[in-house]
Amino acid sequence: MMWLLFKKEPQYIAQLGLGAASLTKFCYRQFPQAKVTAIELNPHVIKACHEHFKLPPNDERLRVLEMDAMEFVCDSNNHHQLDILQVDLYDAAAEAPALSSPAFYRACADCLKDDGMLTVNLFGNPDNYEANCNANIEALEAAFDAVVWLPMVHDANTVAIAFKQAPSVDFEALYERATEIRLTMKLPAAKWVNGLKAWMAD
């Protein structure tokens, strides 16, 4: 959710990989003006989210689609439509991101509006994590104007944010926005700003 530092009122948010539907439900409830679409290949995951994790049924704002994420981002009908694209895709063994090629990230960028952003959770087997993470970052940098990643957290997990157009960064304003996010959404947004500062200092 680090993109919240840069955009307050998205109109269209998409999520690749449903997981337990936490991000999808959060976006659906927090942004009543926005369309929210989630793409999930496994029908059993979708069924489990409805039955056990209180995922709402599809309506005029919410769509959960059973389809391949690559198919979604390559569909020209989805190009230049999204404000935010959240990517959380893994292979069956959670060894590495399921889609991570330069072609995939270029297609993701095609789906975003000019000021759109992509966030991606880079997680994998600790034995090959660094190589996988570096390969993903390189592919992102080839597709986006600016890419930033936060310091690695537990279990070999890094979150990156990619901007279709590089933003201006005013840390005073970002900390003010982080306070607003913490008060209204209960998210630890100051940690995101700290991570951005640490990245820029390296």
132 class by beta-carbon count within 10 Å (0-12 exposed, 13-18 middle, 19+ buried): buried
Give the pLDDT band of residue 158 (cuts 50, 70, 90): confident
104-144 tens-digit pLDDT: 999 999 999 999 999 998 876 666 667 778 888 999 999 99
Q: What is the pLDDT of residue 55?
A: 96
177-198 tens-digit pLDDT: 999 999 999 999 999 999 888 8
Specify the pTM: 0.91
Q: Which domains does the chain have, with CATH numbers?
A: 10-167 (3.40.50.150), 170-202 (no CATH)
Question: 3, 192 in Cβ contact below 8 A?
Answer: no
Q: Looking at residues 2-8, what average pLDDT do you find? A: 96
Residue 50 tokens, joined: 């409805």
Average pLDDT for the chain:
90
According to DSSP, the β-strands at 146-149 and 62-66 are: unpaired
Q: What is the pLDDT of residue 201?
A: 74
Residue 119 tokens, joined: 């966030």
Residue found by looking up tokens 């955009």 in the block? 7
Q: What is the pLDDT of residue 128?
A: 61
8-state DSSP, 165: S
Q: What is the pLDDT of residue 198?
A: 84
